[in-house]
Amino acid sequence: MRGQLWTLDEAVYLVGVFFKSEFKNGDDSNPLCREIARALNRTPSSIDRQWRNIQDVRTGLSHSNVGRVIIQATLEYVTNPRAGHKLAVEAAVANQWPLRILRGD
């Protein structure tokens, strides 16, 4: 999927996983990052980049180079974590992505 724009479902799912994980799990050499990449049919480096983008949006750093769906999913999760997690679970179920990862297991 190189060069493909991120879908809202992918962004919502990744943001949900981000908030249930330690920051180090998004590093492209981390086994969890690799598992997420396989589930989303993305490269580990793509997951790593978006993970850092989520962190930038969450902390209020400049996000001028961050995609719209990552910004949207992150801000919605920060505003209402319960609803954000529910959307992430729904995206996981609809796309058959691992719920275990989303739960932080």
Instruction: Kindly state the average pLDDT of the residues 17-38.
Output: 95
Instruction: Kindly state the average pLDDT of the residues 58-73.
Output: 88
- What is the C-alpha to C-alpha distance for residues 52 and 65, in angstroms, rounded to an integer? 12
Going by pLDDT thresholds of 50, 70 and 90, the confidence category of residue 105 is low
Pinpoint the alpha helices (H) of 1-105: 8-19, 31-40, 44-59, 68-79, 81-95, 99-103
Domain map (residue ranges) of the chain: 8-96
